[in-house]
Chain A
Amino acid sequence: MESNRVPVRAGLWKEKAGPDGTPRLIGSECLDCEELFFPVQDSGICTFCQSRNLKETVFSRKGTIYSYTVVMQRPPVYYQGEVPYAIGFVELPEGIRIETLFVDCEFEDLRIGMEVEMVFRTLHTDTEGREVVTYMFRPVSAGGEGGPKA
Chain B
Amino acid sequence: MSGTRDVMVAGVGLAPFNLYDGQKGRPLKDYFDLGAESILKALDDADLGWGDIQAAFCGNVYGGTASGHQAIEKIGQTGIPIVNVENACSSGSSAFRLAYQMVGAGIYDVVLAAGFETLPKGLLKSTAWPEWQRIMGFNVQPAAYAMNTVRYMQETGATEEDISRVTVKNRKNGALNPNARFRKPVTLEEVMASRMIAQPLRLLHACPLADGGAAVILCSRDRLKKTDKPVTVAASILTSGTYGHVYGGGSVKKKTPDTVQISVEQAYEASGYGPEDMDVVQAYDTMASGELWELEKMGFCPKGEAPRLMREGYFDLGGKLPVNTDGGLMSRGHPLGATSLAQIIEIYRQIRDEAGQRQVPGAKIGLAHAMGAGPNSAVVILKR
Give residues in A with beta carbon < 8 Å to B.
Answer: 8-9, 12, 27, 33-39, 47-48, 66-73, 75-81, 85, 87-89, 94-101, 107, 112, 123, 132, 134
Contacts and interface: CB of A to CB of B under 8 A. Distances in A.
Contacts of B154: 112
Interface in B87-145: 122-123, 125, 130-140, 143
B374 to A, nearest CB: 15
Contact of B147 (A68, A107, A123): A68
Interface of B: 122-123, 125, 130-140, 143, 146-151, 154, 195-201, 243, 250-254
B251 A99 contact: yes
Contact of B197 (A72, A87, A132): A72
Given A8-B132, A37-B250, A69 B143 contact: yes
B251 A96 contact: yes
A88 B252 CA distance: 15
**Nearest 7 pairs of A and B residues by beta carbon:** A9-B132, A69-B146, A79-B137, A78-B134, A67-B147, A70-B199, A36-B253
Given A47-B243, A48-B243, A75-B140, A99 B254 contact: no
Given A48-B243, A81-B137, A132-B135, A98 B251 contact: yes
B198 A69 contact: yes
Contacts of A39: 250
17 contacts: A8-B135, A35-B254, A37-B252, A39-B250, A67-B148, A69-B143, A69-B150, A70-B199, A75-B134, A76-B122, A79-B136, A96-B251, A107-B199, A112-B151, A123-B135, A132-B135, A134-B132
Contact of A71 (B122, B125, B137, B254): B137
A87 to B, nearest CB: 6
A101 B254 contact: no
A72 B140 CA distance: 10
Contacts of B148: 67
Contacts, number: 113
B125 A76 contact: yes
Contact of B251 (A8, A37, A76, A101): A37
Given A67-B147, A79-B139, A134-B132, 16 more contacts: A35-B254, A36-B252, A48-B252, A69-B150, A70-B196, A71-B198, A78-B135, A78-B137, A79-B137, A81-B137, A87-B137, A96-B252, A99-B136, A112-B151, A132-B135, A134-B136
Contact of A72 (B122, B138, B150, B196): B196
Contacts of A85: 137
A70 B125 CA distance: 19
Nearest to B199: A70
B254 A48 contact: yes
Contacts of A77: 134
A80 B135 CA distance: 7
Nearest to A38: B251
Contact of B139 (A72, A76, A98, A112): A76
Nearest to B247: A99
A121 to B, nearest CB: 11
Given A78-B134, A112-B154, A72 B253 contact: no
Contact of A101 (B136, B146, B199, B243): B136
A99 B140 CA distance: 13
Nearest to A67: B147
A61 to B, nearest CB: 16
B253 A78 contact: no
A78 B250 contact: no
A101 B146 CA distance: 15
B151 to A, nearest CB: 5
A80 B201 CA distance: 22
B3 to A, nearest CB: 32
* Residue of B123, B147, B254 most packed against chain A (CB within 10 A): B254
A36 B251 CA distance: 8
